[in-house]
Amino acid sequence: MSLDNPHISGGDDLPGFHNLLGYRQVSWEESEAVIALDLQPKHLNLGGVIHGGVLTSLLDIAMAEAGTYCPYPGRMRKAITLSLTTTFTGQCSGGMIRVTGRKRAGGTRIFNSTGEVHDEQGNLLAIAEGTFRIRSGSEKPEGVPI
């Protein structure tokens, strides 16, 4: 995994909404992506636990990444989410969470991924499955210029 790509390095280098979330890339390879987030007060709901929207957004990102790995520096592959189902299984109010996305099946344009979120103690916080479509130009491993 190369973190020279500004779209996957994490923290303040991420564009738009990704920057707002503030996650970092732990690993990214063919069919699997792992991101992590150090929880801050902005990630919590009114009950003081991580907001479901934060969990779902991170799952969406990791699962899309699992099907769009690009090993070429200065290039990337893009996908859009067609469907996403999230099941919340636990709560967390602090520390670091780890999100893993895995590509499970797919063709040249459509792929399916699953995802899991765990807290630092290994407790399962959420699971998800999604269907994604590769954007035009991103079908091949070399993707498109950043």
The whole-number pLDDT of residue 13 equals 72
The whole-number pLDDT of residue 3 equals 37
DSSP letters, 43-87, are GB-TTSSB-HHHHHHHHHHHHHHHT----STTEE--EEEEEEEEE
Backbone angles phi, psi at 11, to 5 degrees: 65, -140
Spatial neighbors of 114 by CB under 8 A, at least 6 apart, are 63, 101, 102, 104, 127, 128, 129, 130
Q: How many CB atoms lie within 10 A of CB 126?
A: 23
Q: Per-residue pLDDT tens, the chain, 146 aa: give them.
A: 333 333 445 555 777 888 889 999 999 999 999 999 999 999 999 999 999 999 999 999 999 999 999 999 999 999 999 999 999 999 999 999 999 999 999 988 999 999 999 999 999 999 999 999 999 888 888 889 98
| Total-model pTM | 0.90
